[in-house]
């Protein structure tokens, strides 16, 4: 982001293969952030606002209308203060992102998680292969500056707790680096 950006809070993209804990991380981050952040579950937004061309029965997913989705998200990203939670990230313009968190999980553990969600076998296999081949991580590295892409392990509750603590520290540093103020009811000493 440019130094003259009017944003007073960052845009954080949390991405990863389905089942890696994106929504859990985002929800905890909203609760623990020193500034107000809005969690946007992009997959749910696509369904709720019909930003799709229909449902693909074979892959058990919606075919996203990227233009409608990006038009909806543009003003929110420009304002900042959002967490975009989705299994892909390359669709989001580079100018939006201040931090891109790619969550990773052991493929055996991921398989179990997706089975518990009752994913069809084909979808479990596709997502498991994507995790093994580091598809989402490579997509993030190809789409954003190296210094804003962070790969984090997400296999246990301790991992999640550590990750959220690290991201909160990053937010505090971002605020300091961008000369942003914390709301009066927040503890200002946490940024210094």
For residue 180, pLDDT over 90 is answered with no
What pLDDT score was predicted for residue 132?
97
Is 122 a known ligand-binding residue? Answer: no
pLDDT confidence tier of residue 48, bands split at 50, 70 and 90? very high
Predicted TM-score (pTM) of this structure? 0.90
113 annotated ligand-binding residue: no
Positive or negative CA dihedral for 15, 21, 27, 32? Answer: negative
User: HSE (CB half, 13 Å, CA atoms) of 152?
Assistant: 28
| 21 marked ligand binding residue | yes
pLDDT, average across residues 140-151: 98
- Does 23 appear as a known binding residue? yes
Q: What is the pLDDT of residue 184?
A: 43
Residue spans of the domains in the chain: they are 11-190
Q: 11-190 sits in which CATH class?
A: alpha beta
Q: What sign does the CA torsion over 39, 44, 46, 48 have?
A: negative
User: Is-contact 86 42, C-beta < 8 A?
Assistant: yes
Determine if residue 159 is left, alpha or beta; phi over 0 gives left, psi from -120 to 50 gives alpha, anything else beta. alpha
Could you give the percent of the chain with pLDDT greater than 70? 91
Angle of helix 135-143 versus helix 121-132 axis, rounded to 10: 50
**181 annotated binding-site participant:** no
What value does the mean pLDDT of the chain take? 91
104 is in an annotated binding site: no
């Amino acid at each position: 982001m440019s130094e003259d950006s009017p944003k007073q809070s960052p845009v954080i993209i949390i991405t990863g293969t389905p089942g890696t804990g994106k929504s859990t991380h985002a929800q905890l981050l909203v609760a623990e952030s020193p500034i107000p952040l809005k969690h946007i579950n992009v997959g749910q937004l696509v369904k709720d606002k019909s930003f799709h061309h229909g449902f693909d029965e074979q892959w058990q997913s919606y075919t996203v209308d990227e233009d409608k989705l990006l038009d909806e998200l543009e003003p929110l990203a420009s304002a900042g203060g959002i967490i975009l939670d989705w299994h892909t990230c390359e669709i989001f313009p580079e100018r939006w992102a201040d931090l891109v968190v790619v969550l990773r999980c052991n493929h055996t553990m991921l398989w179990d998680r997706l089975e518990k969600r009752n994913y069809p076998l084909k979808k479990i296999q596709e997502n498991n292969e994507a995790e093994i081949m580091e598809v989402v991580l490579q997509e993030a590295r190809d789409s954003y500056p190296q210094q804003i892409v962070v790969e984090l392990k997400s296999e246990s509750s301790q991992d999640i707790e550590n990750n959220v603590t690290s991201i909160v520290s990053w937010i505090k540093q971002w605020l300091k680096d961008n000369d942003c103020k914390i709301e009066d009811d927040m503890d200002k000493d946490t940024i210094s």
